Amino acid sequence: MPKKTVRKTVHKKVTHKAPKQVAKNEEAPEPQIVSSRIEPQAVPKEVTQPTIVQPQIQEIQPAIPETPEPAEQPVEEKPEPQKTIDVGEAIDFGWQTTKKHLGFFIGVGLFILVLSLISGNAKGIATKILVGLFQVGVTLGYLKLALDLVDNKPAAFKELFSAFKQLPAYIITFVIYGLTVLLGLVLLVIPGIIWAIAFGLYPFVILLENAGPMTALRKSAHLTEGVKPKLLVFYLALLGLNILGTIPIGLGLFVTMPISLIAAAHVYRQLEKQSQQ
């Protein structure tokens, strides 16, 4: 029988040497891993994009010719509206108003007649002067009554005594007016007639505005400017009317006098209204 050979396996003791320790102060380099993928490079944030400057296109506007400023034209003064009066209308208004208050005006006429008789029969200069002044004051109140009726106010007998406070201004103005008209008549007659018409409305100015003599005369001249010929016709018509009133023993004056005063007041209001436009 053959001998079996026993192989002895000799196990060598392999000793693995530990790697040398890296010094504490030295750091071991990290293994670099090389990747085959190409990472995209990040664009730095601070990199500014290039500024594209666009060319500015300037619009060329066509030159507009300057229009010359219009030359200043002289301001034309507007002519004052022409004043006028209607003689027939004024007299008709006086007649219609008198007819409406006929009894009242007959009573007023009788009162004035009594004053005239007293003044004529008064003895002594002082008495005659006092009665005459009272009669003038009543006549001035008669004009005030006529103005009230033109203004659609009721007829009141007390208005005959309402104008005594304007009596001094009226007397002074009457003297100036009389001397002016007399001077014009002495010169060439025609100036006297013109001045009589021009200043003839002064009693109404004194009554309504309590004006002084010169103010009353100036305003009367202003109101009558441009209408003197028509006023002359108007005064001649009133004169003829009152002449007719004296024919039947003067009884017609009880009607023609209020017609004349109311018509004159109506004309004054017409002229005053037209001068204010």
Encode pLDDT of 50-63 as tens digits. Answer: 555 455 555 555 55
| pLDDT given for residue 120 in this prediction | 82
Q: What phi and psi values does residue 158 have, to the nearest 5 degrees?
A: -65, -20
Tokens of 214: 């010169």
147 lies in a domain? yes
How many domains is the chain partitioned into structurally? Answer: 1
22 falls within a domain: no
Q: Write down the pLDDT at residue 56.
A: 55
Query: Does some domain include residue 219?
Result: yes
Residue 249 counted as domain residue: yes
Residue 227: the pLDDT is: 93
- List CB contacts of 94: < 8 A, sequence separation 6 or more: 258, 259, 260, 261, 262, 263, 266
Query: In the chain, which stretches have pLDDT less than 50?
Result: 1-36, 38, 40, 42-48, 53
Q: Is 112 within the bounds of a domain?
A: yes
In a domain, 212, yes or no: yes
**Would residue 14 count as lying in a domain?**
no
The most distant pair of C-alpha atoms in the chain lies apart, rounded to whole Å, by 220
5 in any annotated domain: no
Q: 216: domain range?
A: 87-275
